[in-house]
């Protein structure tokens, strides 16, 4: 993969999943919290969430909390690497939003 | 109990059909794997269900109910695991218990699943292709050397069976390709 592709944006699902994991959380909890945070707009599918959790564990952005505990409700938590990724993304999104505001704001004033 | 024999290369179409049947009051009870088609058995039910279908994720065929992905879906969505058939898992949830959102909310994750499925089909195809070519060659060689005997007939039958499976998996791989190109279009939008 070219180097320039690696600093891509996080998908909406991954971004919200990471935010939901600043506190220990399990599958159902993540779904609920993400739906709530996004005002009902983002409804994570179980297959999408399952795949994303496995990918994030493999990347060490999140980790399993109770590996030897009950298997029915696995709890996850974000790692320091994951937190760094979220911070970088928040910065990137801020830049996008600010530039958007600046340009469209001027446009609105001009009208 | 009403049963239908059908095969869906497209999982989304299958899911849609199952949900349409459920709307009519026919709730899927079980799916049985077959050679070319699956057998879908329905029973009349007053409860309205939402059905969801997915590829089996963990490669486990036996005791699928304890497979991590199945447990994840049942516990996080409050859904019920119905059955496993021909590499697919079937879930349902009573509409009264709440919504059962589609298993994939992002095209990218659906694409990744389809890609995995495609890889599996191609893997099996390459084994079958090797078998067809190798055994086919050896069958022809024997036939030319000693004519028709029980061994060359047996080998020819073997080759034909492998060729039939090869065609099925090729059809699956083409189905996956079509789905992936559809998903690619959605991802670009």
Does the structure show a pLDDT above 80 at B107? yes
* Residue A74, pLDDT score: 85
Give how far A75 is from chain B: nearest CA, Å. Answer: 11
Q: How many CB pairs under 8 A join A and B?
A: 64
Please, what is the average pLDDT of chain B?
Answer: 88
pLDDT tens sequence across A4-58 = 555 668 889 999 999 999 999 999 999 999 999 999 999 999 999 999 999 999 9
pLDDT tens sequence across B142-171 = 888 887 778 778 888 888 999 999 998 999
Give how far A109 is from chain B: nearest CA, Å. Answer: 30
* Residue B71, pLDDT score: 87
Residue of chain A minimizing CA distance to B99: A43
* Residue B146, pLDDT score: 80
Q: Which fold has domain A10-110?
A: Arc Repressor Mutant, subunit A (1.10.10)
The HSE-up count of residue A33 (CA atoms within 13 Å, CB side) is 18
Full-model pTM: 0.83
Angle at which helices A27-37 and A12-20 pack, to 10 degrees?
Answer: 110
Would you call B72 and A46 a contact, using CB atoms and an 8 Å cutoff?
yes
**Euclidean distance between CA atoms B64 and A7, whole angstroms:** 38
Residue of chain A minimizing CA distance to B89: A47
The HSE-up count of residue B53 (CA atoms within 13 Å, CB side) is 20
Residues from chain A contacting residue B77 (CB–CB below 8 Å): 28, 31, 46
Domain ranges of chain A: 10-110
By C-alpha distance, which of B28, B9, B11 is closest to B104? B11
**Euclidean distance between CA atoms B5 and B7, whole angstroms:** 7
- A59 or B187, higher pLDDT: A59
Residues 6+ apart with CB under 8 A from B42: B1, B2, B3, B4, B21, B26, B27, B28, B29
E-only strand ranges, chain B: 2-6, 26-32, 38-44, 49-55, 80-85, 88-94
Question: Which stretch of DSSP H or E encloses residue B77?
Answer: helix B68-77
Sheet holding B38-44, edge to edge: B2-6, B38-44, B26-32
Would you call B109 and A51 a contact, using CB atoms and an 8 Å cutoff?
yes
Give how far B51 is from chain A: nearest CA, Å. Answer: 13
Give how far B148 is from chain A: nearest CA, Å. Answer: 54
Residues B81 and B70 sit within 8 Å (Cβ to Cβ):
yes
Lowest mean pLDDT among A72-76, B60-64, B99-103: B60-64
pLDDT tens sequence across A60-97 = 999 998 765 555 578 999 999 999 999 999 999 999 99
* Residue B80, pLDDT score: 92
The three state secondary structure string of A17-82 is HHHHCCCCEEHHHHHHHHHHHCCCCCCCCHHHHHHHHHHHHHCCCEEECCCCCCCCCCEEEECHHH
Would you call A48 and B110 a contact, using CB atoms and an 8 Å cutoff?
yes
Mean pLDDT of the B98-124 span: 91
Lowest mean pLDDT among B6-10, B100-104, B147-151: B147-151
Quickly state the pLDDT bin for A3 (edges 50, 70, 90). low
- A38 or A105, higher pLDDT: A38
Residue of chain B minimizing CA distance to A52: B109
* Residue A92, pLDDT score: 93
- Looking at the partner chain, which of A11, A50, A71 has a beta carbon nearest the beta carbon of B108? A11
Mutation for A interface: B97, B103, B114, B187, most A CBs within 10 A: B103
* Residue A1, pLDDT score: 46
Is the confidence metric ipTM above 0.90 for this complex? no
Residues B103 and B52 sit within 8 Å (Cβ to Cβ):
yes
Would you call B106 and A26 a contact, using CB atoms and an 8 Å cutoff?
no
Q: Which is it for the CA torsion A24, A29, A35, A37, positive or negative? A: negative
């Amino acid at each position: 993969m070219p180097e320039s592709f690696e600093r891509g944006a996080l998908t909406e699902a991954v971004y919200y999943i990471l935010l939901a994991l600043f506190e220990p959380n399990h599958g159902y909890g993540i779904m609920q919290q993400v739906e709530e945070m996004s005002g009902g707009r983002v409804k994570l599918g179980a297959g999408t969430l399952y795949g994303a959790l496995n990918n994030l564990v493999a990347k060490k952005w999140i980790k399993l909390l109770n590996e030897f505990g009950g298997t029915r409700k696995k709890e996850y938590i974000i790692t320091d690497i994951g937190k760094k990724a979220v911070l970088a993304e928040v910065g990137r999104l801020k830049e996008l939003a600010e530039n958007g505001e600046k340009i469209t704001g001027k446009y609105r004033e001009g009208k | 109990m009403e049963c239908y024999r059908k095969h869906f290369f497209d999982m989304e179409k299958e899911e849609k059909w199952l949900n349409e049947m459920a709307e009519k009051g026919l709730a899927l009870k079980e799916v049985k794997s077959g050679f070319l088609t699956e057998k879908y058995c329905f029973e009349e039910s007053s409860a309205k269900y939402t059905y969801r279908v997915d590829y089996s994720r963990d490669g486990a065929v036996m005791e699928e109910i304890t497979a991590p992905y199945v447990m994840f879906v049942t516990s996080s969505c409050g859904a019920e695991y119905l059955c496993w058939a021909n590499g697919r898992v079937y879930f349902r949830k009573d509409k009264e218990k709440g919504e059962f959102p589609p298993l994939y909310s992002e095209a990218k994750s659906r694409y990744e699943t389809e890609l995995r499925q495609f890889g599996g089909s191609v893997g099996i195809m390459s084994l079958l292709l090797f078998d067809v070519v190798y055994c086919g060659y050896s069958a022809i060689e024997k036939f030319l050397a000693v004519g028709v005997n029980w061994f060359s007939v047996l080998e020819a039958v073997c080759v034909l069976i492998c060729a039939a499976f090869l065609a099925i998996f090729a059809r699956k791989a083409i189905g996956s390709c079509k789905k992936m190109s559809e998903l690619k279009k959605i991802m670009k939008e």
